[in-house]
Amino acid sequence: MASHAASPLPPPNYDESAVGKVVLPDPLTGPDGTVVTTSDAWRRSARPHQFELLETHVYGRRLPPLPVTVADGGVERVAVSLADGVAATRVQARLRLGPEPKGRLVDVLLYLPREARRVPVFLELNFRGNHAQHGDPGIRLSTSWMPKDDAAGIVDHRATEAARGLNARRWPIEPLVSRGFGMATAYCGDIFPDRADGRPDSVLVSLDRPVDGALPPDEPGAIGAWAWGLSRILDWLVTLPEIDPARVAVVGHSRLGKTALWAGACDERFALVVSNNSGCGGAALSRRNFGETVEVITRRFPHWFCPAFAGYAGRERELPCDQHTLLAMAAPRPLYVSSATEDLWADPRGEFLAAVAASPAWRLFGLEGLEAAEPPRPDTSIGDRVGYHTRTGAHDILLEDWTFFADFAARTIPAAR
Ligand code: GTR
Number of domains in the chain: 1
pLDDT at 4: 54
Classify residue 3: in a domain, yes or no.
Answer: no
- Please give the backbone phi and psi of residue 89, each rounded to the nearest 5 degrees, phi first: -115, 125
List C-alpha distances in Å: 93 to 140, 300, 318, 353. 10, 33, 45, 40
> What is the C-alpha separation between 298 and 255, in angstroms, rounded?
12
Q: How far is CA 74 from the centre of its chain?
A: 27
- Distance between Cα 367 and ligand 1 center (Å): 32
Classify residue 10: in a domain, yes or no.
Answer: no
> What is the C-alpha separation between 313 and 286, in angstroms, rounded?
10
Mutate to test the pocket of ligand 1, among 127, 253, 254, 347 (most ligand atoms within 8 A of CB): 254
pLDDT digits 0-9 by tens, 356-415: 999 999 999 999 999 999 999 999 999 999 999 999 999 999 999 999 999 999 999 999
What atom of ligand 1 comes closest to residue 256's alpha carbon?
12
Q: CATH number of the domain at 126, please.
A: 3.40.50.1820
224 pLDDT exceeds 60? yes
Catalytic residue among 39, 144, 202, 254: 254
pLDDT at 6: 74
- Distance between Cα 154 and ligand 1 center (Å): 19
Q: Whose CA is nearest to atom 10 of ligand 1?
A: 255
Q: Give the pTM.
A: 0.98
Classify residue 113: in a domain, yes or no.
Answer: yes
> What is the C-alpha separation between 324 and 43, in angstroms, rounded?
17
Q: How many helices (H) and strands (E) does the chain have?
A: 11, 11
What atom of ligand 1 comes closest to residue 253's alpha carbon?
12
417 pLDDT exceeds 90? no
Percent of the chain residues topping a pLDDT of 90 = 96
Catalytic residue among 45, 157, 206, 395: 395
Close Cβ partners of 213 (under 8 Å, ≥ 6 residues apart) = none
Mutate to test the pocket of ligand 1, among 292, 300, 347 (most ligand atoms within 8 A of CB): 292
pLDDT at 125: 99
Q: Which residues line ligand 1 (CB under 6 A)?
A: 254-255, 279-280, 292, 297
**Angle 46-370-32 from CA coordinates, rounded to 5°:** 15
What atom of ligand 1 comes closest to residue 395's alpha carbon?
13
- Distance between Cα 380 and ligand 1 center (Å): 24
58: alpha, beta or left? (left if phi > 0; alpha if psi -120 to 50): alpha
Mutate to test the pocket of ligand 1, among 126, 255, 343 (most ligand atoms within 8 A of CB): 255
Mean pLDDT of the region 158-184: 97
3 pLDDT exceeds 60? no
- Greater confidence (417 vs 323) lies with 323
Domain carrying residue 195: 23-412
> What is the C-alpha separation between 87 and 113, in angstroms, rounded?
7
What atom of ligand 1 comes closest to residue 292's alpha carbon?
8
53 pLDDT exceeds 60? yes
What atom of ligand 1 comes closest to residue 297's alpha carbon?
8
pLDDT at 5: 56
> What is the C-alpha separation between 22 and 369, in angstroms, rounded?
21
pLDDT at 394: 98
- Distance between Cα 84 and ligand 1 center (Å): 33
- Please give the backbone phi and psi of residue 349, each rounded to the nearest 5 degrees, phi first: -65, -40
List C-alpha distances in Å: 401 to 21, 383, 393, 407. 31, 15, 11, 10
Classify residue 11: in a domain, yes or no.
Answer: no
3-state secondary structure at position 155: strand
Provide the 10 A C-beta neighbour count for residue 367. Answer: 18
Classify residue 17: in a domain, yes or no.
Answer: no
- Please give the backbone phi and psi of residue 91, each rounded to the nearest 5 degrees, phi first: -115, 130
- Distance between Cα 172 and ligand 1 center (Å): 21
What atom of ligand 1 comes closest to residue 280's alpha carbon?
9
- Distance between Cα 77 and ligand 1 center (Å): 34
Close Cβ partners of 40 (under 8 Å, ≥ 6 residues apart) = none
Q: Mean pLDDT, the chain, as a whole number?
A: 97
Mean pLDDT of the region 255-282: 99
Classify residue 120: in a domain, yes or no.
Answer: yes
Mean pLDDT of the region 20-35: 97
pLDDT at 416: 84
**Angle 10-61-360 from CA coordinates, rounded to 5°:** 75
Classify residue 7: in a domain, yes or no.
Answer: no
- Distance between Cα 255 and ligand 1 center (Å): 5
Residue 202 designated active-site: no
Classify residue 66: in a domain, yes or no.
Answer: yes
Model confidence band, residue 206 (pLDDT cutoffs 50, 70, 90): very high
> What is the C-alpha separation between 34 and 335, in angstroms, rounded?
25
**Angle 72-107-225 from CA coordinates, rounded to 5°:** 120
The bridge status of strand 272-276 relative to strand 243-253 is parallel
Q: Whose CA is nearest to atom 12 of ligand 1?
A: 255
Nearest residue to 131 (alpha-carbon basis) of 96, 107, 155? 107
Mutate to test the pocket of ligand 1, among 124, 192, 301, 304 (most ligand atoms within 8 A of CB): 301
pLDDT digits 0-9 by tens, 284-325: 999 999 999 999 999 999 999 999 999 999 999 999 999 999
Residue 338 designated active-site: no
pLDDT digits 0-9 by tens, 108-119: 999 999 998 999
pLDDT at 72: 85
